[in-house]
Amino acid sequence: MSGQLQRLVLDFRSGELVVRCLYRTQEGPNGAKGRRRQVSELAREGLQRALASLEGETTLVGCSGFTQREDVLLADTREEGSAA
């Protein structure tokens, strides 16, 4: 698979999980099945990296609200030893 994950947004709704996945690719998979496989793999990989990064140190970079809150965490998803 060749693709580069750009953005992964999770929206939890009642009984549903909506995943919006923005990615770049050099090749166009043939048909909906190939595209679904590619984006599913990218989303899985992105979620695994996000979970692993949350095991480390995170920084609270934004917050709002009092009883209904929206906070933003920043975690480094780069593998150790890799430079940005």
Longest dimension (CA), the chain: 48
**What's the pLDDT tens digit per position in 11-31?**
998 889 999 999 988 876 568
Is residue 63, in this structure, part of any structural domain at all?
Answer: no
Number of domains in the chain: 1
Is residue 43, in this structure, part of any structural domain at all?
Answer: yes
**What's the pLDDT tens digit per position in 53-80?**
999 899 999 999 888 888 888 888 776 6
Give the up-direction half-sphere exposure of residue 4: CA atoms within 13 A in the CB hemisphere. Answer: 4
Is residue 74, in this structure, part of any structural domain at all?
Answer: no
Is residue 51, in this structure, part of any structural domain at all?
Answer: yes
**What's the pLDDT tens digit per position in 20-60?**
999 988 876 568 888 888 899 999 999 999 999 999 899 99
Q: Give the Cα separation of 40 and 35 in Å (integer).
A: 8
Contacts of 22 (CB under 8 A, 6+ apart): 5, 6, 7, 8
Residue range of the domain that includes 48: 4-56
Residue 20: the pLDDT is 93
Is residue 75, in this structure, part of any structural domain at all?
Answer: no
Its pTM stands at 0.74
